[in-house]
Amino acid sequence: MIKDNNAGYKEIPHTADWELLVWGTDMPDLMKQAAEGMYALSGTRLADRDSENREFKVPLLDRESALVDFLSELLFFSEQEGIGFDYFEITQDEESYTIKARCAPIEEKIKEIKAVTYHDLSIRETDSGLEVNIVFDV
C-alpha cells in the first residue's frame, strides 16, 4: 500500500523473509509508516471495539536502533497482550521517542512476524525525507 509520494511503504520481494521499503518526511513519520507496513504484511486486523490509549518510550540511540526497538515493541504487545495499534503520535526529546498510541485487540493475523532484523538496515536521506528497507524474520 502506498499512501502518497511523501510517506508510505511497499513490499519488496525477498528470498526467505519479508522486506519493506518505507519512506516518510521525518523520523516519526517513517516510524508510523513502518508500523502500518508491518501490520499490513502480517494481515493484522484490529477489533472495532475496546480501543484504549497507551504510551511508551523508545531510547534514542541511533535512528536504526530506535526504529527496530519501536517495531519490536509493537511485536511484543501483539504477542504478549494480543493488541495492535492504529494511531501514533510520536515526539522526540534528547533521550527518547515518546509514543502515544491507540490500541485495540487483534481480531485477525494471517502470518506471524518473529522479529525485526538489522539486515542491511540503513536509514537514508532523500530529497523528500527519509527511507529505509526493513527485513522481517517470519
Asked, for residue 95, whether it belongs to a domain, the answer is yes
Non-local CB neighbours of 43 within 8 Å, separated by 6+ positions: 108, 109, 110, 111
Q: What is the DSSP letter of 127?
A: T
Asked, for residue 27, whether it belongs to a domain, the answer is yes
The full DSSP string for 69-101 is HHHHHHHHHHHHH-EEEEEEEEEE-SSEEEEEE
The pLDDT of residue 49 is 82
Top pLDDT among 5 and 115 is at: 115
Query: Range of 133's domain?
Result: 8-137
Asked, for residue 2, whether it belongs to a domain, the answer is no
Element containing residue 125 per DSSP (H, E): strand 124-126
| Measured CA angle at 3 (ends 76, 35), to 5 deg | 5
Average pLDDT over residues 80-93: 96
Give the tens place of pLDDT for each residue, 37-84.
Answer: 999 999 999 999 889 999 999 999 899 999 999 999 999 999 999 999
Asked, for residue 55, whether it belongs to a domain, the answer is yes
User: Is the pLDDT at 14 greater than 90, yes or no?
Assistant: no
User: Is the pLDDT at 16 greater than 70, yes or no?
Assistant: no
Asked, for residue 79, whether it belongs to a domain, the answer is yes
The pLDDT of residue 1 is 46
Q: How far apart (Å, rounded) are the C-alpha atoms in residues 29 and 49?
A: 26
Asked, for residue 39, whether it belongs to a domain, the answer is yes
Q: 114: pLDDT confidence band, cut at 50, 70 and 90?
A: very high
Asked, for residue 1, whether it belongs to a domain, the answer is no
The count of domains in the chain is 1
Asked, for residue 3, whether it belongs to a domain, the answer is no
For the domain that residue 15 is a member of, what is the CATH number? 3.55.10.10
